[in-house]
Amino acid sequence: MPWRETKNPYHIVVSEIMLQQTQVERVMKKYPLFIKKFPSFQVLAWASRARVLAVWQGLGYNRRALALQKIAHIVVNEYKGALPSDHELLQKMPGIGKATAGSVATFAFNRPIPFIETNIRRVYIHFFFAKKRKVNDAEILPLVLRTMDLKNPREWFFALMDYGSMLGEKMKTNPNKKSAHYMRQPKFEGSRRQLRGNILKTLLTRRMGLEDLAKQLSRPTTKIAKILYTLERDGLIQRKENIFSV
């Protein structure tokens, strides 16, 4: 995994945002291209939204691309281009929650910050909560703190993630089913999320009106209209005189 060969904070942030909801294999295909097109916080901050979204295509959950660009704006405008290493400051940034703040502080700055994501959760449930159901992350976090390697947290958390990933693949019963936070990824085929992605993809090729979009995607205008509204609300598209564009 190329993001494990670097401590460049920009590269780490890009990879961690991508890895939030997308599997390693798919991130591996997109990450090198994204870094090539946008090699720094500065370049990403100056790029057009349409170009960022175009390069992001294939990863899904497009709001993450906007969040990443907003992070770039903040780093350039408020931190003189240098990402802060403090996880509390990181957590204030768009698209960065507890887990991502912890992973960035750990992987970019080798700071021992305990955090929980899906792979890490599996390891602790497997070892410490074999008989329990509805395990809360609040019960796991103190164990992460007490067990972690304070001298080399970076390597420690990489190893934990690999172990957890193996537990997910190889075990008949995924330990995370016993997490109070357990959620399966919803089905993508035929979902609203898929249509949302397709509308955005279509609008990246050219600007279009509602009727035109509905015809192109062979879907009812009412359905398209509702999704256009949410895309506009989320800042992914804009409307000018009933013509939609990225």
Query: Using CB under 6 A as the criterion, which residues of the chain lie in contact with ligand ADE when the complex forms?
Result: 1, 16, 19, 24, 103, 161
Closer to ligand ADE by CB, 21 or 245: give it. 21
Q: Which residues are catalytic?
A: 16
CB of 207 to ligand ADE, least distance (A): 36
CB of 14 to ligand ADE, least distance (A): 11
CB of 154 to ligand ADE, least distance (A): 10
| CB neighbour burial string for 98-135, b if at least 16 within 10 angstroms, e if fewer | bbbbbbbbbbbbebbbbbbbbbbbbbbbbeebeeeeeb
* Residue whose Cβ sits closest to ligand ADE: 19
Closer to ligand ADE by CB, 4 or 63: give it. 4
Query: What is the spatial distance between Cα 14 and Cα 3, in angstroms, rounded to a whole number?
Result: 9
Q: Angle 221-233/192-205 helices, nearest 10 degrees? A: 80
Closer to ligand ADE by CB, 25 or 241: give it. 25
Enumerate the β-bridge partners of residue 243: 209, 240
Closer to ligand ADE by CB, 24 or 204: give it. 24
CB of 205 to ligand ADE, least distance (A): 32
Query: What is the spatial distance between Cα 146 and Cα 232, in angstroms, rounded to a whole number?
Result: 45
The answer to whether 20 and 116 are in contact (CB under 8 A) is no
